[in-house]
Amino acid sequence: MKYKGRDKSSNIEDRRGKGAAKMMGGVSGLGIIILIVYTLLGGNPGDILGNNNITGGNIAPEVQSSQPYKETEEEKELRELISVVLKDTEDIWNEEFERIGYEYREPTLVIYTDSVSSACGTQSSAVGPFYCPGDEKVYIDLDFYNELSKKFKAPGDFAMAYVVAHEVGHHVQKLLGVTDQVNKIRNQVSEKEFNKYSVRLELQADYLAGVYASKAKSMGVLDKGDLEEALNAASQIGDDTIQKRSMGHTVPDSFTHGTSEQRQRWFYKGFQTGNLDNWDTFSADDL
């Protein structure tokens, strides 16, 4: 992806080295593993504990470092990349919202290390990137790029761009009222039934990431192989692929984000359409 020297978003909040409230007696061990997988799939980490405001136990006082954070060259490159991607999403969604008669409210992207405080509670970087609807912010520890590249076998700058665009997609859903509508259903149906709604919500965010990719192509900033990087990332974090990797088999009724094939297909559908016209996963008979 061509991002060198391009406009960057001003909606970046850098909390690296500033510390965060420490969680005492919180989630650990297997719980952390589950949170990692869930959040990599685009979920709100609050949901997995049944609470949008995670406390996870006692919270120690916030730790502040007296030394400024010293970023590596790799971190500098990643910071520039996600700043450019965020700026592109701002341009894209401001234009698209105006087209459909709405006003886009730009989210803030928070860069942090180790742990971070949000309206969804205090989170460890182990949960990966996440969007918190309570404060309308996307949270990313740049170390996640190595996890995506090595552990999940989805390398490339546009794979990371896909992740950012997916999380911003959740912000679009929040602004258009989709998130609230789905949350209202949560206590009205069984967990198995609600999983089906969750899948449609996540596939819709993948579609929105595809719209971003379409606009990026029209701006001439995609390099050869970028689309394949995003499609590979979508595939590597499909429910079936992750379950096969971790358990050796799949449990379809437990899927909350869609199969690898579904995630790729809805991302590509957004890429082909390039706007919100075909984004309604909830009315689709065949996901």
More confident residue, 19 or 228: 228
One-letter amino acid for residue 247 of the chain: M
pLDDT on residue 71: 92
pLDDT surpasses 90 at 111: yes
**Residues forming a β-bridge with 108:** 137
Q: What is the pLDDT of residues 77-95, one digit of tens each?
A: 999 999 999 999 999 999 9
Question: Alpha helix locations (H) across 156-279?
Answer: 157-175, 178-185, 191-218, 226-236, 239-247, 260-273
Burial code of 22-43, b = ≥16 C-beta within 10 A, e = fewer? bbeebbeeeeeeebbbbbbbbb
Residue pLDDT, tens place only, 167-225 = 999 999 999 999 999 999 999 999 999 999 999 999 999 999 999 999 999 999 999 99
pLDDT tens figures, 14-59: 999 886 654 433 333 333 334 445 555 455 555 543 444 332 333 3
What gap in Å lies between CA 216 and CA 85, rounded to an integer?
A: 9
What is the tens place of the pLDDT at every residue in 249-287? 999 999 999 999 999 999 999 999 999 999 999 999 988
How many residues are there in the chain? 287
Residues 239/259, Cβ–Cβ less than 8 Å: yes
